[in-house]
Structure 1
Amino acid sequence: MLVVMQSDATQAQIDAVCDAIREMGFQPAPMPGAQRTAVGLIGNDGQVDGSHISGMAGVGQVIYVSKPYKQVSREWRPENTVVEIAPGVRFGGTEVPVIAGPCSVEGEPQILAVARAVRAAGASALRGGAFKPRSSPYSFQGMGLEGLKLLAKAREETGLAIVTEAMDEEGANLVAEYADCIQLGARNMQNFSLLKVLGRLRKPVLLKRGMSATIQELLLAAEYVLAAGNPHVILCERGVRGFDTATRNLFDLSAIPLVHKLSHLPIVADPSHGVGVREHVPPMARAAIAAGADGLIIEVHPTPDKAVSDGAQTLYTEQFGRLMGEVRTIAEAIGRTITPAPAHQTVGAG
């Protein structure tokens, strides 16, 4: 349930509505807007009788949220949520940030070389896995804490925001200390205990769609994070499992406009995992921007053929540079711009 106050409602009237919601056994969530305040009701999993609230002083309208997810729905918040992960790097507005970097942090020379290259091409954030969930227990699992420290060093040199994945509660606390945004991978989308941890950490979260997840399941996963107190969630379409083996996944471009209709949260696209084939990543990245994606996350490596993970879907730095020029043109054609690379660069960085 959402209580929309009149534009001239006083603070005392808003407080009275909040008190009434508490008396019903629920938690009020006041949301001041540009013209009026709305008060959400948190804690119910079914419809609540709010007839007595509709008659209270200062109340303009009582709206019943029909979706199973509440706080992430457009009914709850009609305006777009803008999530800022670092100064100037905002998802959900007219600017479109690009996150780029290797699948895995492999060492200092590699991550610094990639960071310099993607920054020079115009990326505003660096990705790189320090903790790697792999299908095989014998595959490279990441550098862990040392990888996080190398990402922080790359940020210090280039000014790029850092996005990296957490796999469990201990890792989430470490990532929150070193990174600007915590990525939750497809395999963990419905790890509900970890979603609650990310809600309590209040750090921006990049939530990837599960390999076989519906849009409703993705939005309900986001609801866990918001319900635990963290409104800073960015959704990510990264492809779902299909029956055709020609590509790694079925990249669902229709998810982008659909999520925009259903939710106020921003959604970015990951064409690297979406198709899993290097030559198909640039056209799918271009298509995602045209479809209205609020950001891109692209895997880039100076020598993909030597990458320890996901080399087949990773762009060469030269390819990424060309792609950035193409997506700038497409973004401008639909009234948006690609977020510029950070101005900061330390002395001696190349």
Structure 2
Amino acid sequence: MVVIMKRNASQEEIEAVIANLSAFGFNVHRSSGVNQTVLGAIGVKPGFDHRIIRGLKGVSDVKRVTEAYKLASRAGRNASTIVDVGGLRIGGHAITVMAGPGSVESEEQIRAMTAQVACNGASLFRGNILKPRTSFYEFYGVEEGRLELIREAADRGELKVAIEVTDVARLDMMSEYADILQVGARNMQNFELLRALGTSNKPILLERGLSATIEEWLMSAEYVMRCGNTQIILCERGIRTFESATRYTLDLSAVSVVKAKSHLPVFVDPCRSTGMRNYIIPLARAAVAAGADGVMVDVHHDPANASGAGLSALNFDQFAELIVQIRDVAKAVGRSLTEGGETNGPRQ
């Protein structure tokens, strides 16, 4: 059940509704936006008359949620969630660009990458020190000493940093340097990790699993939200199908479907799905046209000699061209791109 408070509801009224719900045996999760508070009441209570809550002071509406993902569901929410990443607002009118290498390799690479992606229009730097690979023999990343360099270089370029966390043991270390904690596709159903991320105060970028349905993806978001962290960004990065022309099949329909089913912002990664750089810009354009709130791309100073996934990375000139093209598409659909350091207003 979702309880939507009035825009002018006082703190005392909100707390009174929470107390009433708790008295009836519901577990209550509060989500406070800029203009409105929504309360998620979790717990099956057959025959409960929701009019009891509807009649309380400060309540605007009460809606039953039939989906298994109660907190991630759009039911009862007119406004989409905007995730605030240190002043960078994701999920509003503007589209966010996240760029960087699949996994960092050296100090020189980190400094060159952050400078280039920042000056070309990205506002998020993808700074993975460890990247789980399908093959044991592929480049996994370099961990030691890199986090400090990533943080320093990103700050110099006024970029926010997203870092992939692969297990609970590294969570505290990653959190010290990251603005966003990224959950890769292979960890989408790592439930112990999801529970731990639910206690974090960092926004979470949750990639869709390789063979996950949209409902399973949203249920993974529910794990994090149920444990207390409602700042979730979803990322469609391709799923496994019978098609072999590309590495995976980028499911752009998921953007529209998720927007209808959930209030959470959605990114699209056109690099991981295709595995080929010549497909990246066209699919990034399509993602923006489909309504994505952000685009995540691999960029490398020398893709031909990259330690890992060089075929799916753009060079600096190609990245600059991507920005030009998706900016034009964004303008055509009534949106814009968020520049580095710029805040992002609510979607109209």
Please give the TM-score of this superposition, normalised by the length of structure 1.
Answer: 0.91
Question: Matched residues in 2 for 1:32 and 1:169: separation?
Answer: 28
Q: Name the amino acid aligned to 1:50.
A: D
User: What is the CA distance between 1:276 and its match in structure 2?
Assistant: 1.1
Separation in structure 1 between the aligned mates of residue 265 and residue 170 of structure 2, nearest angstrom: 25
What is the correspondence of 1:1-350 to structure 2 with a 5 Å cutoff?
1-5=1-5, 13-31=13-31, 37-42=37-42, 44=43, 49-51=48-50, 53-54=52-53, 56-58=55-57, 59-87=59-87, 89-342=88-341
Task: Say if 1:97 and 1:338, in contact at 8 Å, map to a contact too.
Answer: yes
Q: Secondary structure, in 3 states, of the residue corresponding to 1:224?
A: helix
Deviation at 1:31, TM superposition (A): 4.6
Partners of 2:67 and 2:31 in 1: CA distance: 19
Amino acid at match of 2:109: Q
Offset of residue 104 of structure 1: 1.0
Verify the 8 A CA contact 1:201 1:230 in the aligned structure 2: yes
Q: Which range moved further: 24-33 or 165-174?
A: 24-33
Deviations along 1:74-125, one digit per CA (max 9) or x if unpaired, are 11432111112233x2210011110111111000001111111111211111
CA distance 1:35–1:169, change in 2 (3 Å) = closer
* Distance in structure 2 (CA, Å) of the matches to 1:34 and 1:113: 37
Moved more, 136-145 or 183-192: 136-145
SS of the residue corresponding to residue 72 of structure 2 reads coil
User: Matches of 2:141 and 2:79 in 1, distance apart?
Assistant: 39
Once the two structures are superposed, residues 251-304 of structure 1 have per-residue CA deviations (whole angstroms, 9 ceiling, x without a partner) of: 000011111111110000000012111100110001101111100100010110
Contact 1:47 1:64 in 2 (8 A): no
**Is the Cα–Cα contact under 8 Å of residues 54 and 60 in structure 1 kept in the other structure?**
no
8 Å Cα contact 2:270-2:280 kept in structure 1: yes
In the TM superposition, residue 171 of structure 1 has moved relative to its aligned partner by 1.7
**Aligned partners of 1:199 and 1:230 also within 8 Å:** yes
Q: Deviations over 1:181-203 (max 9, x none)?
A: 11100000000110011110120
Q: Retained in 2: the 8 A contact 1:17–1:53? A: no
Change (3 A) 1:81 1:13: closer
- SS of the residue aligned with 1:282? helix
**TM-score by structure 2 length?**
0.91
Summarize the Cα distance change of 1:39–1:144 in structure 2 as closer, same or farther, 3 Å threshold.
same
Following the alignment from structure 1 to structure 2, what is the Cα–Cα distance between the partners of residues 121 and 52? 53
RMSD over equivalenced CA pairs, Å? 2.1
CA distance in 2 between counterparts of 1:32 and 1:162 reads 25
- In the TM superposition, residue 2 of structure 1 has moved relative to its aligned partner by 1.8
Counterpart residue type for residue 21 of structure 1: L
One-letter amino acid of the structure 2 residue matched with residue 239 of structure 1:
G
Identity %: 42
The Cα shift of 1:18 comes to 2.1
Distance between the aligned counterparts of 2:90 and 2:8, measured in 1? 31
- Name the structure 2 match of 1:348: none
Greater Cα offset, 22-31 or 333-342: 22-31
Quick one: distance in 1 between partners of 2:302 and 2:275?
Answer: 16
SS in 1 for 2:228: coil
Tell me, in whole angstroms, the C-alpha distance in 1 between the residues paired with 2:32 and 2:272.
38
| CA distance, structure 2, for counterparts of residue 265 and residue 21 of structure 1 | 25
Q: Report the equivalent of 2:345.
A: none
Residue 170 of structure 1 and its aligned partner are, at CA, apart by: 1.9
How far apart are 1:151 and its partner, in Å?
Answer: 1.0
Instruction: Name the CA distance, whole Å, in 1 between partners of 2:105 and 2:47.
Output: 53
Letter in 2 for 1:224: Y
- Structure 1: gaps (5+ residues): 344-350
Q: Please give the alpha-carbon distance, in whole angstroms, between the structure 2 residues aligned to 1:36 and 1:153.
A: 36
Amino acid at match of 1:182: L
Give the total of aligned pairs: 341
